[in-house]
């Protein structure tokens, strides 16, 4: 019974080169689609490839991308968070209100907003896990509630539906260094949120592929009963995922607040689906258990490039959504084609 493990080559496998092996990663389809869209707009518009142009679409992509990566982790773990978009508004409004209206220290305000966001994320997880209701519905309820609260509370406290005078708050500029600054690189004026985006994508990828928690995320999303049976702490994993998404909402909320120095009560509404779209274009399965963080980041890149590319191309703006739809379909089809070529079944 001490047969040695057979050699890795096996007559029952067709030889597959490095390229095919690479092509099997979930994000490769998205990478090819992103490249196609990049080339398309680079060739067909003038401003797209200029430093100022690149900085614009990268920034646009980064705001979607940070959330998309978090949402992708959650989706791999088998859940949705429709309150992710509204959370961006909620956190921004909290910081805005407590600083401009009540004069709370701005750093403290950041911490308060983060704590509230994480608490809401944990509450989502708790309700989903305890009741067994689909997260789609639970977080939809959270979304509605946040949307209503954002509006009503902002109105009650400030008398208007947006935060004014944020840039006059003491310490604003110090915080702006982390969330709203930009630096020069290759002639571009790179916003700091792009750095956050890349760093988070790298971190998420490492967690997914090289840590225990990553293994568990795939497992709870792929087959929750089996995971429970082999002893994966399902509750903890889901709790962590919902809190991560809420935390990402906070981060994006801060990035937006300290960039434009204002936030409206309607901020973030309707954005939740964009995150899901980015994740799916990037190769995540809606049913959970499969996907990648890099893919989601690429999905956001595709979205950001398309959104700004259409403007650079000066197409009639009324068609915006139609173009977006077409591009979306194109991206997923390219994605599919590439993956089929690589012999991966969806």
Partner 1 sequence: ATTDAAASGDPVTIAVVTHGSPGDTFWDVVKSGAEQAGKDLGATVTYQGDGDPVKQSQLIDAAVATHPDGLIVSMANPDGVKNAVEKAVAAGIPVITINSGLEQSREFGAQTHVGQSEFIAGQGAGEQLAAADVSNVICVIHEAGNTGLEERCKGAADTLGGSVTNVQVDVANVADAQNTIKSSLLADPSIDGVLTLNPGIAVAASQAIEEAASSAKLATFDVSSDVTQLILDGKILFAVDQQPYSQGYLPVTFLTLQARNGDVVGGGMPVYSGPGFVTKDNAEQVAKFAKNGTR
Partner 2 sequence: MTDAQASADPPILEVRDIGKTYGSILALQGVSASVGVGEVLCVLGDNGAGKSTFIKILSGAHAHTHGKLLAYGVERTFGSPREALDLGIATVYQDLAVVPLMPVWRNFFLGSELTRGFGPFSQLDVKGMRRITKEELAKMGIDLRDVDQPIGTLSGGERQSVAIARAVYFGAKVVILDEPTSALGVKQAGVVLKYIAQARDRGLGVVFITHNPHHAYPVGDRFLLLKRGTSLGDFKKSEITIEEMTKLMAGGAELDALAHDLARA
- Binding residues (CB under 8 A) for partner 2: these are 1-6, 8, 10-16, 20, 210-212, 214-216, 218-219, 222-223, 225-233, 285, 289-290, 343-345
186 binds partner 1 (CB under 8 A): no
344 binds its own copies (CB under 8 A): no
- The residue among 24 and 321 lying less far from partner 2, judged by its C-beta, is 24
164 binds its own copies (CB under 8 A): no
Longest distance between any two alpha carbons in the chain, whole Å = 79
320 binds partner 1 (CB under 8 A): yes
- The residue among 132 and 159 lying less far from partner 1, judged by its C-beta, is 159
158 binds partner 1 (CB under 8 A): yes
- Which of 23, 265, 278, 331 is the binder for partner 1 (CB under 8 A)? 265
Rg (CA), the chain: 21
Reading the block at residue 310, the tokens are: 């259409």
Helix (H, G, I), strand (E, B), or coil: what is residue 262? coil
CB of 6 to its own copies, least distance (A): 32
Measured CA to CA, the distance from residue 126 to residue 123 in angstroms comes to: 5
151 binds partner 1 (CB under 8 A): yes
Long-range contacts for 147-156 (Cβ within 8 Å, ≥24 apart)?
147/86, 147/266, 147/269, 149/90, 150/86, 150/89, 150/90, 150/93, 150/265, 150/266, 150/267, 151/265, 151/266, 153/93, 153/97, 154/93, 154/97, 154/265, 155/265
- The residue among 80 and 258 lying less far from partner 1, judged by its C-beta, is 258
- Which of 116, 129, 324, 342 is the binder for its own copies (CB under 8 A)? 324
What φ, ψ does residue 188 adopt, rounded to 5°? -100, 155
83 binds partner 1 (CB under 8 A): no
Side-chain-facing half-sphere of 171: CA atoms under 13 Å: 13
143 binds partner 1 (CB under 8 A): no
What sign does the dihedral 160-163-165-170 (CA atoms) show? positive
- Which of 22, 103, 115, 155 is the binder for its own copies (CB under 8 A)? 155
**C-alpha closest to that of 239 among 121, 138, 71, 136:** 121
- Which of 25, 27, 30, 57 is the binder for partner 1 (CB under 8 A)? 57
Distances (CA, A) of 248 to 6, 17, 68: 46, 38, 9
189 binds, among its own copies, partner 2, partner 1, none (CB under 5 to 8 A by kind): partner 1
268 binds, among partner 2, partner 1, its own copies, none (CB under 5 to 8 A by kind): partner 1
326 binds its own copies (CB under 8 A): yes
42 binds partner 1 (CB under 8 A): no
Neighbours of 296 (CB within 10 A): 37
């Amino acid at each position: 019974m001490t047969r040695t493990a057979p050699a890795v080559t096996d007559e029952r496998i067709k030889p597959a080169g490095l390229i095919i092996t690479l092509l099997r990663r979930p994000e490769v389809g998205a990478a090819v689609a992103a490249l196609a869209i990049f080339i398309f707009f680079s060739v067909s518009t003038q401003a797209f490839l200029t430093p100022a142009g690149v900085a614009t679409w990268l920034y646009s992509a980064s705001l979607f991308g940070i959330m998309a990566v978090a949402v992708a982790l959650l989706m791999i773990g088998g859940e949705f968070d429709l309150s992710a978009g509204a959370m961006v508004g909620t956190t921004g409004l909290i910081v805005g209100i407590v600083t401009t209206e009540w004069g709370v220290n701005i750093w403290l305000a950041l911490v308060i907003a983060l704590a509230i966001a994480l608490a809401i994320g944990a509450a989502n997880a708790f309700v989903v896990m305890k009741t067994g209701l689909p997260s789609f519905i639970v977080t939809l309820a959270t979304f509605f509630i946040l949307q209503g609260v954002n509006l009503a509370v902002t109105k009650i406290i400030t008398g208007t539906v947006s935060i004014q005078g944020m840039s006059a708050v003491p310490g604003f500029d110090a915080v702006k260094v982390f969330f709203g600054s930009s630096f020069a690189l290759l002639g571009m004026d790179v916003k700091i949120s792009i750095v956050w985006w890349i760093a988070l994508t790298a971190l998420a990828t490492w967690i997914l592929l090289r840590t225990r928690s990553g293994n568990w995320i795939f497992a709870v999303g792929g087959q929750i009963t089996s995971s429970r049976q082999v002893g994966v702490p399902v509750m903890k994993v889901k709790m962590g995922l919902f809190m991560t998404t809420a935390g990402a909402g906070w981060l994006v909320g801060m990035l937006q607040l300290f960039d434009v120095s204002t936030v409206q009560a309607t901020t973030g509404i309707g954005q939740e689906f964009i995150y899901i779209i980015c994740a799916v274009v990037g190769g995540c399965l809606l049913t959970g258990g499969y996907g990648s963080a890099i893919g989601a980041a690429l999905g956001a890149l595709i979205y950001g490039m398309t959104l700004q590319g259409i403007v650079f191309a000066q197409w009639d703006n009324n068609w915006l959504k139609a173009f977006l739809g077409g591009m979306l379909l194109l991206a997923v089809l390219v994605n599919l084609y590439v993956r089929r070529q690589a012999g991966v079944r969806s």
